Amino acid sequence: MKAHSTKPLPPARRVALEALYRCLFSKQDIQAALDVALSSGKIDPRDVGLATELCYGYLRLKGRIEYILTRFLQDPGKLPPKMRLAMGVAAYEIIFLDKVPAYASVDWAVEFSKSKPGSRLSGLFNAVLRRIADMGDEAFDKDFYRKDASLPEFLSRWYACPQWLVDMWWRAYGEERALAYLEAQLSPPAVGINLYGHPEAEEIFTELAGAPEIIDIEGMSFALPAGTSFEDEPEPPLARQSFAAREAIEALNPSLWESPVWDACAGRGGKTRILLENGLKVFASDPHKGRLSALRRELPGVETFEANAATAIPPHQPSTILLDLPCSGLGVLSRRPDTKWKRTTKDLDDLMKLQSEILDNAAHRVKRGGKIAIITCTLNPDENDHLIKAFLGHHERAELNKEWTTPPDSPLGEFFYSALLTIN
């Protein structure tokens, strides 16, 4: 007799599995995938919270969980992808979510396994998930992950990162920094908020300055500890803004830049805000229509146009160009943990090529004696200092004024690189 599930999945698990499937198999960004999955019906706010936690938590720890599954399953690769994902999410709940009793996780996952007609997976799900529930502290014991492993293999399992990334960080940054980066990407980052344009910004800042939970304040931005949640999502004129990104641009002293500034990879305008806050006159462009419309909504006074910065001729000659470059995002895995499962080394090569084309075009467009500011949110020397070094190698008129990187022990949990050049 065929086993068929009749019980629908509980809402948070339905949303999480749909979002994770879209994210991992249709390559959608996790937040976009989650927004789509959440839009399919009215969902209790507690379920929204649990679905979000399952998506981000699972993606942060997916490598560790998959290793655990290989220890209890003869051939996890034989499970259909949706089933393997469901087993992984249930395992994540059992190991990492104290507030969900293990039997509840086993229950929904076993029920879900019956939805594949004729597969007889329920016995397997039951057996594997019960063994995981019996692991107790062993799941948090590093020795469990060392079995038959070289050091890089162990690090890849424990820090839930693909091995090419572990190898690259170790090679490029050395043991101490690589371990700091690996550790940081396992937890959510600090929460950053920007108040530019808020009519009561001054009062709010005076109140906030003494608040014990504030990690840092600068200009119109402040950072709160990871996991800080709000009853309602901040709305304009409040905006979420990575405080580490702010530090990267502030390190280049934007208050001393000359206007007009062309923000040539402006996206939704996160950095545009900081430029405006520094009293600069800005015009902004990006090839992505949706992001540019968000910028227009949030910062209506800014002149914008759609453009590829590798080839565009801007409508005015800029004195300064800000290049918040499209990059591999390996410095912000704490915020976007799906990136580590999707990036390939081929992507890194393609991005480097685009970055150097953008940089070359900027060198031709900026006025003589003007500046180019570069920012990336990645930890990959080829997209950071090596990119700049190669640029300086074939642009005689270019001069490096400053380079900056988020310190590895930053409490913000995100890592940026920035550099300032003068084109003489």
Name the residues that contact ligand SAM, by CB under 6 A. Answer: 264-271, 286-288, 291, 308-310, 324, 326, 354, 358, 377
Which two tokens mark 417?
Answer: 């690189």
Beta bridge partners of 306: 286
- Asked whether the beta carbons of 234 and 240 are under 8 A apart, the reply is yes
Q: How far is the CB of 273 from ligand SAM (least distance, A)?
A: 8
Is position 324 annotated in a ligand binding site? yes
**Measured between alpha carbons, how far is residue 221 from residues 238, 265, 288, 400, 404 in Å?**
10, 21, 26, 28, 20
Catalytic status, residue 327:
no
Instruction: Specify the residue, 152 or 236, whose C-beta has the smaller distance to ligand SAM.
Output: 236
Q: How far is the CB of 208 from ligand SAM (least distance, A)?
A: 22
Q: Decide: residue 307, CB within 10 A, 0-12 exposed, 13-18 middle, 19+ buried.
A: buried
Q: Among residues 23, 161, 265, 377, which one is catalytic?
A: 377
The residue type at 240:
R
SS3 call for 374: strand
Cα separation of 33 and 19, whole Å?
5
Helix-strand-coil percent breakdown of the chain, rounded to 5?
50, 10, 40
What b/e readout covers 343-372, taking b as 16+ CB neighbours within 10 angstroms? beeeebeebbeebbebbebbbebbeeebbb
Cα separation of 90 and 92, whole Å?
5
- Asked whether the beta carbons of 378 and 405 are under 8 A apart, the reply is no
- Asked whether the beta carbons of 334 and 414 are under 8 A apart, the reply is yes
Instruction: Specify the residue, 178 or 266, whose C-beta has the smaller distance to ligand SAM.
Output: 266
Residue least distant from ligand SAM (Cβ)? 270
SS3 call for 194: strand
Q: How many CB atoms lie within 10 A of CB 52?
A: 19
Cα separation of 256 and 41, whole Å?
50
Q: How far is the CB of 329 from ligand SAM (least distance, A)?
A: 8
- Asked whether the beta carbons of 351 and 383 are under 8 A apart, the reply is yes
Cα separation of 413 and 18, whole Å?
28
Closest CA to 159 of 20, 23, 60, 90: 60
Q: Decide: residue 201, CB within 10 A, 0-12 exposed, 13-18 middle, 19+ buried.
A: middle
- Asked whether the beta carbons of 35 and 28 are under 8 A apart, the reply is no
Q: How far is the CB of 307 from ligand SAM (least distance, A)?
A: 7
- Give the annotated binding-site residues for S-adenosyl-L-methionine: 324
Give catalytic residue positions: 377
Binding residues are 324
